[in-house]
Amino acid sequence: MSAGFVPPPYPYDRLDALLPLADALPGGVVDLSIGTPCDPPLPAVVAALSSSNSERGYPPSIGTDDLRRAFCAWLGRRFKVDVSTDQVAACVGTKEFVGTVPQWLKLRTPDRDTVLYPAASYPTYEMGAILAGCRPLPVPVLDDGSFRLDLAAIDPADAARALLLWVNSPGNPTGALDDLGAAAAWGRAHGVPVFSDECYCEFTWDGPPRTILEHGLDGVIALHSLSKRSNLAGVRVGFYAGDPDLVHYLREVRKHVGMLVPGPAQAAGVVALADDDHVVAQRDRYRRRLELLARVFAKWSGVDVPLPAGGFYLWFEVDGDWAFTERLAREGGALVSPGELYGKAYHRYVRAAVVQPLDRLTLVAERLGVT
Ligand SMILES: Cc1ncc(COP(=O)(O)O)c(C=O)c1O
């Protein structure tokens, strides 16, 4: 009998052993390992959670009319793209979407079995492929320091087997901004749907935020989340938008599984999407923290710590990821993520999420003796 599936350790659980080292310092651990927002959501959004009167009935899986209108209005405002309410649908945050979409695509296209995703990336792209019994295949990124996808490196035989290509811009962990037009064109040329995870788009530093939908809807899906934009990771509201046939198919299949954003969360999402001022304030917080922490880490360790083109992570090269992470935990009481969690080849990188207030980052600087 062959061995069945054994889930691997959850990536961040592997850091549990280092946490006590950091927590032993006076003031406790400053956790920069997971990209979980720490700043408050809008009070009006929190109020909407308790006043929607939507607790009793089942919420629509695709999202209420109001919520889908809010998604479309935001896309129009932010990117000047025109998407109709039947070309969008809600998801329960985006992680579940990333983790499950390969199995729905495999059912629809059983003669394809491969999921393509960036070699340095959010671990759920690979896990979604594994959970669908598919073949995960990392796409190399350019080695010019840009971390953009090297689409030309995809073997035509792999493209012919591909169910989808993931792009993620701004990218986690690298902060890279990809060429979304090139990705859309590659997908159309090879008959491969392109799924563009754009959950960090509001935190684009080099130029305006971008979406793959600016390059047409045909064969592409953009994925968005309120988790990072509006500090609502605990509320679980995301959405996907794009190719009408794909959206229709995913809406139908996801209804059957009962993928439902709770009604109060949908109501809160409408309020969050209508407001842009809180996003401006959040951008400012992340920017200041990125600049402070990049300076502190560079001065302390002597390595180059570049500011990202987007996102709220510092991603930088070190001698060894686990050794650096341990030393920083011991000496600075800060926990970062070893690069290996984002791709086997990245064991000489670490990622730091600037999800702690400035006074906590200043405490790390003081512990490290950086002024
Ligand atoms: C690249 C990327 N995609 C998706 C997600 C999932 O976010 P959520 O499920 O909160 O929308 C994350 C979370 O960190 C992420 O980094």
Angle 279-124-104 (CA atoms, 0-180°, nearest 5)? 105
Atom of ligand 1 nearest to the CA of 91: 11
278 contacts 265 by C-beta, under 8 angstroms: no
DSSP state of 310: B
In the reported structure, the alpha carbon of residue 2 is separated from the centroid of ligand 1 by a whole-number distance in angstroms of: 33
**CA dihedral for 295, 338, 197, 265, sign (positive or negative):** negative
Residue 12, helix vs strand vs coil:
helix
Atom of ligand 1 nearest to the CA of 168: 1
- Using CA atoms, how far residue 335 sits from 21, 31, 33, 103, 349, in Å, is 9, 5, 6, 34, 14
- Give the pLDDT score at 371: 83
In the reported structure, the alpha carbon of residue 355 is separated from the centroid of ligand 1 by a whole-number distance in angstroms of: 14
- Give the pLDDT score at 215: 98
What distance in Å separates the CA atoms of residue 83 and residue 86, rounded to the nearest whole number? 8
In the reported structure, the alpha carbon of residue 106 is separated from the centroid of ligand 1 by a whole-number distance in angstroms of: 22
Helix (H) or strand (E) holding 139: strand 135-139
Mutation test residue for ligand 1: of 32, 92, 94, 167, the one with most atoms within 8 Å of CB: 94
The one-letter amino acid code at 296 reads V
- Give the pLDDT score at 91: 98
What is the chain's alpha carbon radius of gyration, rounded to the nearest angstrom? Answer: 20
Biggest alpha carbon–alpha carbon distance for the chain: 61
Phi, psi of 210 (to 5 degrees): -130, 155
In the reported structure, the alpha carbon of residue 97 is separated from the centroid of ligand 1 by a whole-number distance in angstroms of: 10
Atom of ligand 1 nearest to the CA of 236: 10
User: Atom 14 (ligand 1): residue with closest C-alpha?
Assistant: 35
Bridge pairing between strands 334-335 and 30-31: parallel
- Give the pLDDT score at 274: 98
Mutation test residue for ligand 1: of 228, 230, 240, 351, the one with most atoms within 8 Å of CB: 228
What is the full per-residue pLDDT of the chain (371 aa) written as tens digits?
A: 678 999 998 888 889 999 999 999 999 999 999 999 999 999 999 999 999 999 999 999 999 999 999 999 999 999 999 999 999 999 999 999 999 999 999 999 999 999 999 999 999 999 999 999 999 999 999 989 899 999 999 999 999 999 999 999 999 999 999 999 999 999 999 999 999 999 999 999 999 999 999 999 999 999 999 999 999 999 999 999 999 999 999 999 999 999 999 999 999 999 999 999 999 999 999 999 999 999 999 999 999 999 999 999 999 999 999 999 999 999 999 999 999 999 999 999 999 999 999 999 999 999 999 98
Residue showing tokens 């064969």? 219
Atom of ligand 1 nearest to the CA of 36: 14
User: Atom 12 (ligand 1): residue with closest C-alpha?
Assistant: 95
Q: What ranges in the chain are assigned the alpha helix state H?
A: 19-23, 43-49, 65-79, 95-108, 124-131, 156-161, 180-190, 226-229, 244-257, 263-274, 277-301, 321-332, 358-367
- Give the pLDDT score at 1: 64
In the reported structure, the alpha carbon of residue 334 is separated from the centroid of ligand 1 by a whole-number distance in angstroms of: 22
Atom of ligand 1 nearest to the CA of 172: 1
| CB within 8 Å of 245: residues ≥ 6 apart | none
Q: Which residues line ligand 1 (CB under 6 A)?
A: 35, 93-95, 98, 122, 168, 172, 197, 199, 225, 227, 233, 238
Atom of ligand 1 nearest to the CA of 96: 9
What distance in Å separates the CA atoms of residue 72 and residue 338, rounded to the nearest whole number? 37
Mutation test residue for ligand 1: of 10, 12, 95, the one with most atoms within 8 Å of CB: 95
- Give the pLDDT score at 194: 99
- Give the pLDDT score at 89: 98
Residue showing tokens 């009408």? 244
In the reported structure, the alpha carbon of residue 175 is separated from the centroid of ligand 1 by a whole-number distance in angstroms of: 14
- Give the pLDDT score at 291: 98
In the reported structure, the alpha carbon of residue 93 is separated from the centroid of ligand 1 by a whole-number distance in angstroms of: 8
Residue showing tokens 């405002």? 77
In the reported structure, the alpha carbon of residue 90 is separated from the centroid of ligand 1 by a whole-number distance in angstroms of: 15
- Using CA atoms, how far residue 48 sits from 82, 230, 336, in Å, is 27, 14, 34
How many C-beta neighbours within 10 Å does residue 58 have? 10
